[in-house]
Amino acid sequence: MLVRRAHALHDHSWALVELHQHLALERCLEDHESVVEVQGTWPLGADSRFVFRKNFAKYELFKSNGQSLFPEVMVSSCLEANKSMAHSELIQNFLNSGSCPEVQGFLHLREAGRKVWKRFYFSLRRSGLYYSTKGTSKDPRHLQYLADLTESNIYYVTQGKKHYGTPTEFGFCIKPYKVRSGTKGLKLLCSEDEQSRTCWMAAFRLFKYGMQLYRNYQQAQARLSQPPWIGPTPLRSVSDNALVAMDFSGCTGRVIENPSEVLTAALEEAQAWRKKTTHRYSLPAACQSSPLSAAIHRTQPWFHGRISREDTQRLIGRQGLVDGVFLVRESQRNPKGFVLSLCHLQKVKHYLILPSEEEGRLYFTMDDGQTRFADLIQLVEFHQINRGILPCKLRHYCTCVAL
């Protein structure tokens, strides 16, 4: 209903996020959860709410390779077999209740009722989450039970250092159903890096929901193949369409199917864009410096105006640290420049875009004029198809709709 009313894209990246601002906690609702039941657990008068926004990492665990999501050192079955395991096989083991592997690793834990954090070796099993009181020992005498997955939800901690004094920014929290308000009863944990936190969060979801989570993913995929709802077709961006290589050198265009020919065509196109005197897709010279050309990017959903570097990283992080998530913003240091902020390998990188003028023509560049664009829209569309100087193509732009 929300996707339809907001004229949002017909895909499975949209999600409802449960937000508890007074606790600095948030989590993405699973597709099978009842919104009314979730809202019924909120305490009266609390500043809790739902946010409707993109979450590109929602089903990334069913697409990602095992190396990036579940490092071998964190999965017991890989260590015992002393070999690597295909990601699909590993996920199947998680979904199979009879052969569920154990996720293990070091985490920081905040002691109950105190602001002291200690580092322990944790083990996530089907029966719950445990930590060892003696190094990495798994002896039952040294394992301390911490939380039950079936009776809890797991949340991201958004401002951990401010609210809870976390050692790093990669905090998460296990919140039992019986805890309705306040911090008493919260199990606060903290990872060393984003990859570790992503692994733990994905493992919690797989352990708790099992096959239900995979069915959610399959149903979301099936909806993509169905025709959209009756009414005006929602606008779709280039990043949400299947892009193919085309050859327009003849009288009519044709799809290039040969991979070698695709690479050759891409290189030729890149060279054409780099020529200083040739502007194949530029606007006419009279329009180059017009107010419309200079400000047309402000109508685009990927342009976020004057937001800070910290807010940018927070926004991209909340919508999923997936390769290709991006936005464009105004530069705080250079009043005439812009910044392309892009996620790659779970880190947000920032690329300065500078305007320049030559022979009365205004253009934008990220590589000192080697590759030039008539406006920011052209720059974004080019990098949605070609990687250029970036580590990956632009795939998903950040957006947010508050309810």
What is the per-residue pLDDT for 170? 94
Q: Could you tell me if 183 and 33 are in contact, meaning their C-beta atoms sit under 8 angstroms apart?
A: no
Q: Is 208 helix (H, G, I), strand (E, B) or coil?
A: helix
Q: Is 0.85 topped by the overall pTM? A: no
* Separation of alpha carbons 180 and 195, rounded Å: 30
Residues in the chain: 403
- pLDDT per residue as tens digits for the range 362-393: 889 999 888 889 889 999 999 999 989 999 99
Q: What pLDDT, in 10s, does the model give residues 26-55?
A: 999 999 999 999 998 888 877 899 988 888
User: Mind listing the pLDDT tens digit for each residue in 136-186?
Assistant: 998 999 999 999 888 899 999 998 999 999 999 999 999 998 887 778 889
pLDDT at 100: 67
With CA atoms as reference, report the closest residue to 371 among 262, 281, 260. 281
Enter the tokens of residue 24. 């600095």
Burial track 183-221 (b if 16+ CB lie within 10 A, e otherwise): beebbbbbbeebbbbbbbbbbbbbbbbbeebbebbeebe
CA distances from 331 to 208, 341, 397 (A): 43, 11, 18
Q: Which stretches in the chain have pLDDT values below 70?
A: 3-11, 64-68, 77-90, 97-100, 226-255, 259, 262-263, 266-267, 269-295, 400-403
Q: How far apart are CA 77 and CA 62, in angstroms?
A: 19
d(CA 383, CA 273): 12
